[in-house]
Structures are given as structure tokens and as C-alpha cells.
Chain A
Amino acid sequence: AQTVTQSQPEMSVQEAETVTLSCTYDTSESDYYLFWYKQPPSRQMILVIRQEAYKQQNATENRFSVNFQKAAKSFSLKISDSQLGDAAMYFCAYRSNFGNEKLTFGTGTRLTIIP
């Protein structure tokens, strides 16, 4: 079974600075997707960024980028120019490309933005 580990329960960053959230995962599969989801307080979870395992190039979405190290099974999220609206729980998630394609989530990192 796949597992996802987020070792930082809480992180904080000054507004406009850069922060990196860590995620490691364990799998024996070679074809899968990795995701970062954002869950603002009392609001629904939304997708931030997605990485396909067979693509070597790291995904980027505006101020959000990932550092995907397949051999190390590491998938960190970098948020540049942090904004107050970035404050949320961030979940790393794994999805196999076989079977039911359910998401397996980590325990999350609570990100606080300091004005």
C-alpha cells in the first residue's frame, strides 16, 4: 500500500517571502500522479498543482512550483511571494494510475502567513 508522509505539521512565513513544504511517499509503482491540495479554513479543498511521475520536468503554476525527486520519492511544494490568502492546510496526495485512482493523503501542513 502507498503511504504519504508530511513531516511538518505547521509552517509559517512572512508575507512576500518563499516557503517550501515537504512531502515524501512510498510506492512500488512507477506510474502515478502526485498532487498538492489546499484546504482553507472552513472551505473546500482545491487542487494547487499536479505532477505526473513519468515527466521529469517539475510542474509550475504561477507562484507554486514543485521539486519532484522520483528516486528519492520526494515531492516538495514551493510557494513564492507568499500572500495572506495562501494561509491554509496543505495536503500532499498520491494517486496510482492503476485501479480505482483514489487519493492517498498525508496528514497535512498548516501554513500561516505573517503580515
Chain B
Amino acid sequence: DTGVSQDPRHKITKRGQNVTFRCDPISEHNRLYWYRQTLGQGPEFLTYFQNEAQLEKSRLLSDRFSAERPKGSFSTLEIQRTEQGDSAMYLCASSLISPRGEEQYFGPGTRLTVT
């Protein structure tokens, strides 16, 4: 068990470009969450998957954002036509549904800077 990994760790892009982030969850975890954390704030929920199904999207997730989790394994988060307001840390977390409730394990995050 190597934990949740995210790639890249840092991304600098110019406004208007598209970016894609990847999250590899803990292998047996069936739930995967994406959060966004801006400076001085706590993480905010963006979307989550149970296996390969995307079950909920936050209103924070504009139509420029899309997330996928093919085959219920890794997930990607794509931002099209990036804006300066997209600059943030993007966190991925995974969990395993259990009768006791689930603990979410977080990855190290991808820090996006839009110039």
C-alpha cells in the first residue's frame, strides 16, 4: 500500500490552456473524491466517484471542469481554458466503504498556478 498518489505535484500554465491531473487511489478503495483548496481555506468538495460512476458534482465544478475514472481505478481531472481563479491545490482522496463508515485518505495534491 503506497497511499494515494497524484501527478504532477506542481503545474504552471498560461491562462486559456488546458491542464489534466491524475490521481491513483489506494488499490482496493472504491470511492474517489476530488477537492480544491485555495490559500487560507479548507478543502472544498468538487466531485466523487464510486467505482467508475461519477455520482455527484459540486456547483463549484463549472462546465470547464471534467473528471473521469475509467474502469474504477485512477482518475483524471481536466480543466479547459484555465482562468487565474483556477489557481489552487487540487486534492484527491480515496476511501473504502465499510459498515463502520469510511476514512478518506488524501494524496499530496497538485498545485496549479495559472499565469
| Chain B residues, Cβ within 8 Å of A97 | 101
Distance (whole angstroms) from the CB of A104 to the closest CB of chain B: 7
| Chain B residues, Cβ within 8 Å of A107 | 40-42
| Chain B residues, Cβ within 8 Å of A37 | 106
| Chain B residues, Cβ within 8 Å of A91 | 42-43
Interface pair B101/A47, CB less than 8 Å apart: no
Q: How large is the interface on B (under 10, 10 to 19, 20 to 34, 35 or more residues)?
A: 20 to 34
- With A100-B56, A105-B44 already in contact, the answer to whether A45 and B106 are too (CB < 8 A) is yes
Q: Which residues of B contact A (CB under 8 A)?
A: 3-4, 31, 33, 35, 40-45, 48, 55-56, 91, 93, 95, 101-109
Q: Which residues of A contact B (CB under 8 A)?
A: 4, 33, 37, 43-47, 50, 52, 91, 93, 95, 97, 99-108
Offer 24 A-B interface pairs, CB within 8 angstroms, sorted by A.
A37-B106, A44-B106, A44-B107, A45-B91, A45-B106, A46-B106, A47-B104, A50-B103, A91-B43, A95-B101, A99-B56, A100-B48, A100-B55, A101-B31, A101-B101, A102-B48, A103-B43, A103-B45, A103-B93, A104-B45, A105-B44, A107-B41, A107-B42, A108-B40
